[in-house]
Amino acid sequence: MKKRITGAATAAAMLLAGVGNFAVPVTAAEEPDYASALQMSLYFYECQQAGHLPDWNRVEWRRDATTIDEVDGGWYDAGDHVKFNLPMSYSAAMLAWGLYQYPEGVEQSGELDNYVNNLEYVMDYLAACDRGDSVVYQVGNGTIDHTWWGPVELYQYGMEDAGTSYEAARETLGSSEGCSAVFGDMAAALAAGYCALDGRIDESKREDYLAHAENIFSIASASPSDTVYNDSDASGFYRSSHFYDELFYAANWLYIATGDKAYLDKATGYISHLDKELGSDELKYSWGHCWDDAMQGGMLLYAINTGDPTYIARVKKHMDYWTDSVAKLDGGLRWLTTWGCLRYAETASFIVGVACDTLFADENTDKYREFCEEQVNYALGVNPDDQSYVVGYGENAPQNPHHRTAHASWKNDLAIPDTNRHILYGALVGGPTENGSYEDDRQNYINNEVATDYNAGFTAALCRMLSIYGGKSDPAFPPVEQHDGPEFYVEALDKGISAQGATVSFKITNHSAWPARVQDDLSFRYYMDLSEILDAGLKPEDVVVRCDRDQSAMYASKGVASAEISGIQHYQGNIYYVEVTLPDGRAVLPVSEGMQQCEILLALVYPNYGTGWDAENDYSNQDILGKAGEADEAGTVKGIVTPYIPVYVDGELYYGIEPDGTSADGNAVPGKDPVSPGPTEKPTAPSTEPATQPAGTEEEIVYGDVTLDSKVKLNDVVALNLYLLNLDVLDDQQMKNADVDRDGSVAPFDALNILQYVIELIEELPVQ
């Protein structure tokens, strides 16, 4: 039987992984799994890692990026690619505090190693920002960075394509003064990390963190001011409202780390400078602990450090503010403000929880404990809409957080593709509106943004929940992602095929995302049956191969090599091919509309410009002959994606079907995963007789019903693809049902045939 894949089916197959891509291990929102939530939250921080990635990074779609940064490592802030040290250090301090306060819960969950790895990674970066008499407080220019939307692995090329300097985009900002808020938070983070990592990392490195914390704090406190910081690029993104709160916070952590009363005295001295309630002299108790306001966290630490009843009462006032005064949504969430409401509520859960477990451990704190659980559980889907606000967690989780690399657009376009290509496991989105509604919209960065500071208090709160309820994380996490189709393929159009020859447009396409990358030695082959040439007494090499357009030549001024076009090459029998190779992958990159495809226009002309060309027998024409292609909304005619124009990476078949049946689905990792071998000789004409029936009677088999639920649906395609990717097993009955072409084996063509049936491109199964 001839295994034919139509262009429409191929396109549908490319979307298949996106349909099932968000299946998650947690299914019951009513019974929160705090261990899995913590596991995912730590994974999110690995998604944010910058520079040279550590070997323990688990994110299959990430690779080294922005490696020219003056200070390597650290976290990209949110969906962008800037390292803003103010929110980063705030976040690092919160992660450290969670581990420091509740280590037993983290350890018994199985996540201690992942926690320590992630915390140590960010501490190394913050320590490296200390230059002795000055400190780096930002790497990357936010204004420039926000001009391009694409995966960070191709940041350099995205910036250059947008007409911007890569070096300018990775600007380093540092100072020796006028940055008290960010320096204070950096000192607090390093001191907290020193405390949290006691006995968990090399002691000399831990002592180094403390030395840097003390030095950065001395610079921050020597001339209290934010004038330099607030006059920099940082001001447009994370402007500091005050700085004595960060100095207060840092002094308390340094006292905990060193036991040196001089730091506690420093903290005491800062209290008179802290914010007051509007219109009074009362110390501020409203608002919440966050990247721009460390006062409440500092006040809690100060009350613990001193045991002073006055400040214990101040902490209690903050607890009552959150439980009694902040607006309460159905389900219990306290809604403080429009932008990223969940980050405030989750952090308040942690602050209130720590106060319950320390300052008020001997009192009845049921009201506060209920509040703490409501905030965490609401984020995990215990709410009127059963809406999880953590990507990848639960059955109704966000799929489209505002995040460039997870979206993996190939067009520098926030709207393309429709659904994010990667699962940003663990990322806490901004949260619901004031009326409790939520829309999973990537372009809504108020409610669907993600950021390291959003997850910070949430991660710490999960540590506390684990200390109370326990739980074990999933040793099989993270699951392997199913690709949304070939990363490299050709869109082809018949531009004029006649008796004189054939003119075909080939747009070789790079939509790579696992990871997004420059792919050298990318090629495709156009296969032809030259029987008519040979029958006319001519030689195959007499066919004229003319290149009428080579888009790769446009980049010659950048040193990019042009396409290499072979002459007529013999395949087998009367089958020949022309191969086009892009030796330099910079000729086609998923960074913009103009660069994601590279067009090669070839004319194959009958010898001596005569007639007699037969295009109908040419293998690669099966899907394109006489087809005009479809126009998109902008009126651009899209070519036809066909497996009969196979694509090769480094000379190895990557996607498509060769004339002898050898095939590859484009979901393999080039150079690692094998293709399916075809017969060693050219196959004979397809038989009109049905293939041998597998064991069992016709009545016992429900073709296409891979899941054995008596229906043929998209989940059968997903199940079969999981089997083909070695991610699942099928029993004997499932294998019989899956063999829809009845050739005695289960192969990718069976999955494609089931898909065609589901989307009504074919009328019945089994396929004849």
Q: So which residues are the catalytic ones? A: 80, 402, 440, 449
For the chain, how many residues are written? 768
Per DSSP, which regions of 105-262 are E strands?
135-139, 172-175
Task: Write the DSSP string, 58-95.
Answer: --TT---B-TT-SS---B--SSS--EEHHHHHHHHHHH
761-to-461, 493, 758 alpha-carbon distances in Å: 50, 21, 8
281-to-224, 277, 301, 310, 319 alpha-carbon distances in Å: 22, 7, 22, 15, 19
Based on the number of CB atoms within 10 Å of its own CB, is 507 exposed (0-12), middle (13-18) or buried (19 or more)? buried
Per DSSP, which regions of 464-539 are E strands?
488-498, 501-510, 522-529
Q: Which residues pair with 549 in a beta bridge?
A: 601
Quick count: other Cβ atoms within 10 Å of Cβ 101? Answer: 19
Query: Could you give the CA distance from residue 282 to residue 287 in angstroms, rounded to a whole number?
Result: 14
Query: Could you give the CA distance from residue 326 to residue 135 in angstroms, rounded to a whole number?
Result: 38
Query: Could you give the CA distance from residue 751 to residue 303 in angstroms, rounded to a whole number?
Result: 63
Cβ proximity of 126 and 89 under 8 Å: yes
Task: Write the DSSP string, 332-401.
Answer: S-EE--STTHHHHHHHHHHHHHHHHHTTTTTS--HHHHHHHHHHHHHHTT-STT----BTTSSTT--S--
Name all contacts of 558-563 with Cβ < 8 Å and 24+ positions apart.
558/586, 560/584, 560/586, 560/587, 561/587, 562/587, 563/587, 563/598, 563/600
Cβ proximity of 459 and 446 under 8 Å: no
Among 644, 695, 696, 650, CA closest to 669 = 650
Among 191, 196, 183, 188, CA closest to 208 = 191
Query: Could you give the CA distance from residue 735 to residue 730 in angstroms, rounded to a whole number?
Result: 6
Dig out the tokens for 726 from the structure: 């070695």
Q: Which residues pair with 402 in a beta bridge?
A: 449
